[in-house]
Amino acid sequence: MAERTEPEAPATFEDSLARLSEIVGLLERGEAPLEEGLRLFEEGVSLTRRCHELLSTAEQRIQELVRTGDGFELTPHAIDDPDREEDEA
């Protein structure tokens, strides 16, 4: 039986996200045979975890920089949500 090797994870967040986007496109088209689809799904899950780890690390670095940054304060960023009602002044 052939030994299965794991694909090497892309080095950067951007590369990981690009590969993940490519996998999503392949799976959405539904043209891959079952085994290939499962392999792509597994790779996608692995890339999702990698992206999450990289984002968490970046967030920790930012929090540390802000914490030690002479008077800077970390505040949550408001995400533009078109469904969210805006406060009236």
pLDDT in tens, 21-41: 999 999 999 999 999 999 999
d(CA 34, CA 2): 18
27 touches 13 (CB < 8 A):
no
Output phi, psi for 59, to 5 deg: -60, -40
pTM for this model (two decimals): 0.66
d(CA 6, CA 64): 34
Domains of the chain by residue range: 13-67
21 touches 14 (CB < 8 A):
no
pLDDT per residue as tens digits for the range 43-89? 999 999 999 999 999 999 988 888 776 666 666 666 665 555 555 44
